[in-house]
Structure 1
Amino acid sequence: MAAAAPPSPSPSPAPSPPPTPLASFLTLTWRNKLHFLFAAFLALFVWSVTPISWLYLGYDIALRGDKPRHWFSSVVFYYSLCEVPFSIYLLSLRREAQKLLPPPQVSVEALEELLHRCLGDHSHPSERDKSAEHQEEQRNLFRSRARRWFHHKPLEEIYADNAREWLGWAFGGRELDELRADTSKKGQENMALIEKGLGMLEVQLGHKFTPGYNPKARAMRLTLDPVKTLQRPFGYYVVCNSISEATIAWLRFVHGFRKEQHGLCDFLVLPPSSPKPQRDDPSLTANGHPANASIAARTRSTSHTSFGTQPILFLHGLGIGLGQYAVLLRRLVKHRGGVAILLQPNISVSIFSRRYFLHAPNKDEHVAAVRACLAAHHFEKSTILSHSNGTMVHGWVARDAPELAHRHVLVDPVCFRLWEGATSFAFLAKRWGTGIEILLGYFVAREVGVAYSIARRFLWWDMLLWADDLQTMASDRLQVVLGGNDVLIDVPAVLDYLSSAGVPDESVTVIPGAQHGQALFMPSEGMKVVCRHLQLEW
Structure 2
Amino acid sequence: MIGTSIHDYVFIRICIFVLHWIAPFSIFYCLSSLVYPAPFHVSRILQVWATLESAFYLLVYHPRKIYLQRAATYPTPICREHRRLLFQRCHENIPDPERYLAKWFMDAPAPEIKWENVKDFFRWAFLDTVVPNTVNDEELEEFVRETEKLLGRKIEPGRGNAKCLRLTQGKVDMLHRSLTWYMCVFIVDTVASGYLRYYSFDFHSTSPLRLPTVFPFRPLALLTSHRSPAKTLTYWHRPHTSKTRLPVLFIHGIGIGLYPYINFLAELNLEDETNESDGELGVIAVEIMSVSLRITGETLKKEEMCQEIDCILKAHSWEKFVLVSHSYGSVITTHLLYTPQIAQKIEAILFIDPVSFLLHLPDVAYNFICRKPTHANEHLLHYFASKDMGVAHTLFRRFFWSENILWKEDIRNRRVTVVLGGKDLIVDTEVVKAYLTDNKSVRRENEGWKDGTWKGNGLDVLWFSELDHGEAFDKKNIRAQLVDITRSYCNRE
Which category describes the TM-score, using the shorter chain as reference length? 0.7 to 0.9
Q: Which of 302, 314, 320 is the aligned partner of 1:381?
A: 320
User: How far apart are 1:453 and its partner, in Å?
Assistant: 0.1
Higher RCO (C-alpha under 8 Å, 6+ residues apart): 1
Identity %: 24
Asked if the contact 2:73/2:397 (under 8 Å) is kept, the reply is: no
TM-score (norm 2): 0.83
Q: Which runs of 5+ in 2 are unaligned?
A: 205-227, 273-279, 443-453, 489-493
**CA deviation map 1:335-385 (0-9, x unaligned):** 71201111101000121xxxx243x22111111222221222122211111
**SS of structure 1 residue aligned to 2:229:** strand
Q: What do residues 266-289 of structure 1 show as CA deviations (whole Å, max 9, x unaligned)?
A: 222211135xxxxxxxxxxxxxxx
> Over residues 213-257 of structure 1, what are the superposed CA-to-partner deviations in whole Å (9 max), with x where a residue is unaligned?
112x11001001122111121111121133224423542466142
Select which of 249, 264, 269 maps to 1:313: 249
Structure 1 residue 104, shift from structure 2 partner: 3.3
Say if 2:87 is the partner of 1:115: yes
TM-score by length of 1: 0.76
**Are residue 348 (structure 1) and residue 282 (structure 2) matched?**
no
Paired with 1:372 and 1:232, the residues of 2 have a C-alpha distance of 33
Contact 1:319 1:444 in 2 (8 A): yes
Match of 2:165 among 213, 220, 229: 220
Shift of 1:429: 0.3
Q: For residue 145 of structure 1, report the CA deviation from its aligned partner.
A: 2.7
Match of 1:62 among 35, 40, 52: 35
In 2: Cα distance, 1:484 partner to 1:219 partner: 28
Alpha-carbon distance in 1 for matches of 2:123, 2:440: 32
Task: Tell me the residue number matched to 1:280.
Answer: none
One-letter amino acid of the structure 1 residue matched with residue 63 of structure 2: S
For 1:346, the aligned partner's letter is: S
Partner of 1:80: 50
Aligned to 2:189: 244
Paired residue for 2:238?
270
Q: Secondary structure at the match of 2:157?
A: coil
Aligned partners of 1:330 and 1:508: how far apart in 2?
Answer: 24
Alignment of 1:43-192 (within 5 A): 43-64=16-37, 73-88=43-58, 89-108=60-79, 109-119=81-91, 121=92, 141-175=96-130, 178-180=131-133, 188=135, 190-192=136-138
Q: Which among 425, 430, 454 is matched to residue 487 of structure 1?
A: 425
> 2-side partners of 1:53 and 1:202: how far apart?
55
8 Å CA contact 2:195, 2:262 repeated in 1: no
Q: Is this contact kept in 1: 2:29–2:50, CA < 8 A?
A: yes
Q: Indicate if the aligned counterparts of 1:258 and 1:270 stay in contact, CA closer than 8 A.
A: no
| Cα drift, residue 32 of structure 1 | 2.3
Distance 1:256 1:449, change over 3 A: closer
Question: Who wins on radius of gyration, i.e. which is larger?
Answer: 1
- The one of 179, 200, 212 equivalent to 1:234 is 179
Q: Contact 1:103–1:172 (CA<8 Å) still a contact in 2?
A: no
The answer as to whether partners of 1:263 and 1:365 remain within 8 angstroms in 2 is: no
Q: Kindly indicate whether the alpha-carbon contact (under 8 Å) linking 1:519 and 1:525 is maintained by their aligned counterparts in 2.
A: no
Query: SS at the partner of 1:406?
Result: strand
- Cα–Cα, structure 1 residues 503 and 513, in superposed 2: closer, same or farther, change >3 Å? farther
Tell me the secondary structure at the aligned position of residue 179 of structure 1.
coil
Asked if the contact 1:399–1:470 (Cα under 8 Å) also holds between the matched residues in 2, the reply is no
5+ residue gaps, structure 1? 1-28, 123-137, 275-302
Contact in 2 for aligned 1:255/1:333 (Cα 8 Å): no
1:294-326 Cα shifts (integer Å, max 9, x gaps): xxxxxxxxx2xx3xx321100000011112323
Give, in whole Å, the separation in 1 of the partners of 2:479 and 2:201: 24
User: Which amino acid is the alignment partner of residue 61 of structure 2?
Assistant: L
Retained in 1: the 8 A contact 2:201–2:236? no
Q: How far has the Cα of 1:524 moved from its partner?
A: 4.0
1:396 aligns with 2:335: yes
SS at match of 1:54: helix
Please provide the CA RMSD for this pair.
Answer: 2.3
Q: 1:271 and 1:503 mapped to 2: Cα distance?
A: 39
> Structure 1 CA distance, aligned partners of 2:76 and 2:356?
21
Q: What is the letter of the counterpart of residue 92 of structure 1? A: P
Contact kept, 8 Å, 1:310 with 1:337, in 2: the verdict is: yes
Q: 2 CA distance for matches of 1:491 and 1:370?
A: 29
Task: Please tell me whether the aligned partners of residues 371 and 404 of structure 1 are also in contact (alpha carbons under 8 angstroms).
Answer: no
2:173 aligned with 1:207: no
Counterpart secondary structure, 2:187:
helix
Any idea what the Cα deviations from partners look like across 1:40-65, whole Å, max 9, x if unmatched? 22211110111111122223343338
Quote the residue 1:513 is aligned against: 466
Q: Tell me, yes or no, if the aligned pair for 1:240 and 1:321 is still in contact at 8 Å.
A: no
Cross-structure match for 1:283: none
After superposition, where does 1:19-58 map in structure 2 within 5 Å? 32-58=5-31
